[in-house]
């Protein structure tokens, strides 16, 4: 037994440099990244390379001198290589493909036929396979051969049992092969109640399947049941995060950026935000039209204008709460289209409760202020009552519009996340004004109006 050599003395932080680089990465320019990369020992640099996004890998590869590119690109397994090629502009792709070895080139070409955000585009064609008529011991030996012949198998946790037509007939885990008697045939050990997905399944649904079924890998099969590849859970973590980011950005009232905040060009960002801001602004112009319709009321009772921001923003806030909760519940599968009526009933109740709370607070504030000063004139109790009733109406409207709009969008096959807080707020602003002035004219006519 040899003694432990110094570089194997592990479990304490050995190379702070790679971690430092990794930590500073998002803030570095491409030149700084190249420099940092070259200062690292080769194995550290490789680890760093693996941890980068396809976009960052591409930028680095393209910055390297031609002679170095090949060795970096060949590090990547086919699914990651395909992502890298896909990140490049159309005209740069053939040059990148030519850097790959023949086997990987074939795999990558097959993967590129799929869209990036569907199961086929996420899968790896390098999975462990066994045959149903092998014994457990034969299967283990066969797996050992596969590992030795190409070390880039995506996972060894599960092996896929394929018949002579490459049709998937079962799965068997290393664990099960280990615990079975050595001469037992695979067909008697394997599981046959398989979860498989088609090649064109959308990544958001794929993420939901992983979660619901608690999977670590899922086989992708074509229409004939032939095995095409596997998607593993580590790809799904990225998908879950990516989908959440897209939803969050849409819910904040902007188009999905599709790039890190600090890397996206200023002009692209302004465009992605400006489009929605302009749409909302045009919608919001209706508030000026609505206000103009009540200009004479305002002129007679200027005090009414004082509460306009308070009323409409309360509607906007309650609406943005409701839409946020419902959109997220839909995205993670807690709420389905057919649950709309249950959601509607809940929001009706919540809206009434919340509206009454805010309304009461508003009433007390105005009545108290009106009693001790004459800022709201002699009819302050009637004004307080107007605000009370309007707030209930507006908050109720906000919660209903906010919660039902995502359902409406989904029914129309649009993304529910587009029912963003600003969108709902704008909708509620206009209708909220109508409610407010209608309530005012009902309560105040004969006194102030």
Q: How far is the CB of 249 from its own copies (least distance, A)?
A: 6
Q: How far is the CB of 245 from its own copies (least distance, A)?
A: 6
For residues 321 and 401, what is the distance between their CA atoms, to the nearest angstrom? 11
Locate tokens 């709009």: which residue? Answer: 405
- Other Cβ atoms less than 10 A from the Cβ of 347: the count is 24
Of 4 and 67, the one with the shorter C-beta distance to its own copies is 4
For residues 64 and 192, what is the distance between their CA atoms, to the nearest angstrom? 48
Of 97 and 186, the one with the shorter C-beta distance to its own copies is 186
Q: How far is the CB of 396 from its own copies (least distance, A)?
A: 13
Q: How far is the CB of 90 from its own copies (least distance, A)?
A: 27
Of 203 and 317, the one with the shorter C-beta distance to its own copies is 317
Of 6 and 65, the one with the shorter C-beta distance to its own copies is 6
Of 97, 48, 99, which is closest to residue 71 (Cα–Cα)?
99
Of 127, 125, 153, 128, which is closest to residue 143 (Cα–Cα)?
128
Q: Where are the alpha helices (DSSP H) in 252-378?
A: 266-293, 295-300, 303-306, 308-331, 340-372
Q: How far is the CB of 30 from its own copies (least distance, A)?
A: 16
Of 166, 443, 110, 133, which is closest to residue 307 (Cα–Cα)?
443
Of 155 and 441, the one with the shorter C-beta distance to its own copies is 155
Q: How far is the CB of 97 from its own copies (least distance, A)?
A: 24
- Other Cβ atoms less than 10 A from the Cβ of 54: the count is 18
Please tell me whether residue 228 adopts helix, strand or coil conformation.
strand
Of 97 and 363, the one with the shorter C-beta distance to its own copies is 363
* Four-residue CA torsion sign, 116, 121, 122, 126: negative
Strands 197-198 and 217-221: parallel
């Amino acid at each position: 037994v040899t003694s432990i050599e110094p570089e194997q003395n592990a479990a304490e932080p050995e190379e702070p440099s790679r971690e430092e680089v990794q930590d500073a990465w998002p803030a570095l320019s491409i030149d700084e990244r190249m420099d940092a990369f070259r200062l690292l020992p080769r194995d550290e640099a490789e680890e760093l390379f693996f941890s980068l996004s396809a976009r960052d890998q591409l930028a680095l590869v393209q910055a390297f001198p031609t002679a170095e590119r090949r060795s970096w690109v060949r590090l990547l397994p086919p699914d990651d290589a395909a992502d890298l090629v896909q990140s490049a502009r159309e005209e740069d792709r053939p040059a990148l493909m030519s850097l790959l070895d023949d086997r990987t080139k074939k795999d990558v070409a097959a993967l590129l036929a799929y869209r990036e955000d569907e199961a086929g585009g996420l899968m790896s064609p390098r999975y462990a396979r066994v045959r149903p008529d092998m014994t457990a011991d034969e299967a283990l030996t066969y797996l050992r051969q596969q590992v030795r012949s190409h070390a880039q198998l995506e996972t060894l946790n599960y092996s896929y049992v394929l018949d002579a037509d490459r049709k998937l007939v079962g799965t068997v885990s290393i664990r099960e092969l280990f615990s079975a008697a050595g001469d037992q045939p695979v067909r008697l050990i394997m599981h046959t109640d398989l979860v498989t997905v088609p090649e064109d399944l959308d990544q958001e649904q794929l993420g939901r399947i992983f979660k619901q079924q608690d999977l670590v890998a899922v086989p992708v099969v074509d229409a004939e049941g032939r095995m095409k590849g596997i998607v593993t859970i580590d790809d799904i973590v990225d998908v879950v995060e990516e989908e959440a980011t897209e939803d969050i950005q849409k819910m904040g009232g902007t188009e999905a950026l599709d790039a890190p905040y600090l890397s996206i060009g200023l002009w692209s960002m302004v465009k992605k935000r400006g489009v929605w801001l302009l749409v909302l602004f045009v919608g919001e112009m209706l508030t000026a039209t609505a206000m103009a319709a009540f200009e004479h009321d305002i002129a007679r009772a200027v005090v009414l204008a004082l509460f306009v921001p308070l009323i409409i923003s309360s509607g906007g806030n309650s609406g943005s709460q409701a839409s946020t909760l419902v959109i997220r519940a839909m995205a993670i599968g807690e709420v389905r289209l057919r649950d709309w009526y249950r959601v509607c009933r809940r929001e009706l109740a919540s809206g009434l409760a919340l509206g009454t709370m805010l309304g009461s607070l508003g009433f007390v504030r105005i009545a108290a202020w009106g009693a001790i000063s004459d800022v709201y004139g002699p009819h302050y109790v009637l004004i307080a009552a107007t605000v009370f009733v309007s707030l209930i109406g507006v908050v109720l409207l906000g919660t209903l519009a906010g919660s039902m709009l995502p359902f409406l969008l989904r029914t129309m096959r649009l993304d529910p996340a587009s029912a963003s807080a600003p969108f709902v707020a704008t909708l509620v602003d206009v209708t909220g004004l109508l409610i407010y002035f209608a309530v005012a004219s009902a309560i105040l006519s004969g006194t102030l109006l």
